[in-house]
A and B are shown apart, each in its own frame.
Chain A
């Protein structure tokens, strides 16, 4: 469960995120859409406790990200935009390191690493150095790292970027199965991906939420593409109109 309420983030004069609110329930995969620079990554970084918000609150599994940051971080798996890999490590030592950091006990370590290798299809490259892996495999190691402690909440920033079509199908199936008993927030540019994987859609533009609805409701009369383009350009029109009045 993720509850985002009136979240804002300001960098000096620039408002990256402006009064954003939405919720993602357990067992739900939320597709987080928006054009480049809309504030998706910033929002995700705030949810995961990497950076603080200027205003507003985020609760993850009932814990406040700012007040009870450690509790939140224990329950969240995060795949950042660029997979956080140490290039001088091999796959297995890296996953063991990530598992230890995330508090996986000594007895469960080997099991957790094996499970992550298996789920992300990394068994064949388990001894390879991370710097020698292709982009697709690096992305999968990043995903394995996010899953390693079996967290109830997953935050994935463009998880299928750089994968080939075959890998994309695998990863989407994986995310769908992970979402059955977890809360997943997934940011992406690929609209068909949202249609295949997500239950709920949040579209943000210029730091503001312009659409928050179930996928089924949104696509009853229009295609998701139409919804996306219209919500963004409606926003743009409104902004132009507001400027004209002022």
Chain B
């Protein structure tokens, strides 16, 4: 555990010693803020229009959760597809390039500790991004009346998406010594995972059900609706554990005869 924290601590310090962490946080929050502003303006405009039409039935259906929070979180999850690979792309390639990989692998440290340390370091940054974007939710709660449990479930969903993306990025970065390949490879995997549900619509039977289960978006949607089900938690947990386990195997493979 001590080794995990040593490695994670170095990772975090390295993110914040360079502009990397600040740029990622700024881009995520700036674009998130822009989405938030756009959605909120659209919401209040349509609210005014429907209020003028004096149609209480339609007004009833207006809902902050559905018209602002849900699309906001969805858009931010798309942002994460592009930003998380920028965090994970350096993890292993940079060590291999700088030769520090030899220091790590010839120290009395287990490979699983190296992998967990690297993952934890990235996790700090990713969770900080999600937590700071919680500001939008806080603003809405102060000036509006959103359903808090549904909003929290949605943010939990965003955090789980970020964690899953991070684990997949960690795995793919362990395959290569090239940051560009690590970035593009992760981007490919994440986009595929995000859109594989589209295929589920056209397939039927077992294949369709499997593809639907594999689709990360379907599980995210459930959480956005406010449903925190073990099905979803098991899905994200499996993705995390399988990715980290495979990373451990991939790093350790250099020691195999």
Measured CB to CB, the residues of A under 8 A from B are: 45, 48-54, 66, 69-70, 73-74, 76, 78, 80-89, 93, 97-98, 100-103, 145
Instruction: Please report the C-alpha to C-alpha distance between residue A145 and residue B105 in the assembled complex, in whole angstroms.
Output: 14
Chain B: CB-nearest residue to A97: B10
Partner of A86, one of B98, B108, B255: B98
- From known contacts A52-B256, A88-B14, infer whether A78 and B3 are also in contact, taking CB-CB under 8 Å: no
Instruction: Please report the C-alpha to C-alpha distance between residue A85 and residue B13 in the assembled complex, in whole angstroms.
Output: 15
What's the dominant secondary structure at chain B's contact region?
helix
In the bound complex, residues from chain B placing their C-beta under 8 Å from that of A145 are: 103
Instruction: Please report the C-alpha to C-alpha distance between residue A89 and residue B98 in the assembled complex, in whole angstroms.
Output: 13
Contact-residue size bin, chain B (C-beta under 8 Å from the other chain): 20 to 34
Please state if A83 and B99 are interface contacts (CB–CB under 8 Å).
Answer: yes
In the bound complex, residues from chain A placing their C-beta under 8 Å from that of B110 are: 70
Please state if B18 and A84 are interface contacts (CB–CB under 8 Å).
Answer: no
Chain B: CB-nearest residue to A75: B108
Produce 1/0 per residue, B97-121, CB < 8 A to A.
0111111111111100000000000
Please state if B3 and A84 are interface contacts (CB–CB under 8 Å).
Answer: no
Chain B contacts with A in 2-44, Cβ cutoff 8 A: 2-3, 6-7, 10, 13-14, 17-18
In the bound complex, residues from chain A placing their C-beta under 8 Å from that of B106 are: 48-50, 73, 76, 78
B257 on interface, CB distance cutoff 8 Å: yes
What are 29 contact pairs spanning A and B, CB under 8 A?
Answer: A45-B102, A48-B102, A48-B106, A50-B105, A51-B254, A52-B256, A52-B257, A70-B108, A70-B110, A78-B103, A78-B106, A80-B102, A80-B103, A81-B99, A82-B99, A84-B101, A84-B102, A86-B10, A86-B98, A88-B13, A89-B13, A89-B14, A93-B13, A97-B6, A98-B107, A101-B7, A101-B108, A103-B108, A145-B103
Given A89-B13, A89-B17, 8 other A-B residues pairs in contact with their CB atoms under 8 A: A48-B102, A70-B110, A76-B106, A85-B98, A86-B100, A88-B18, A100-B3, A101-B7
Measured CB to CB, the residues of B under 8 A from A are: 2-3, 6-7, 10, 13-14, 17-18, 98-110, 254-257
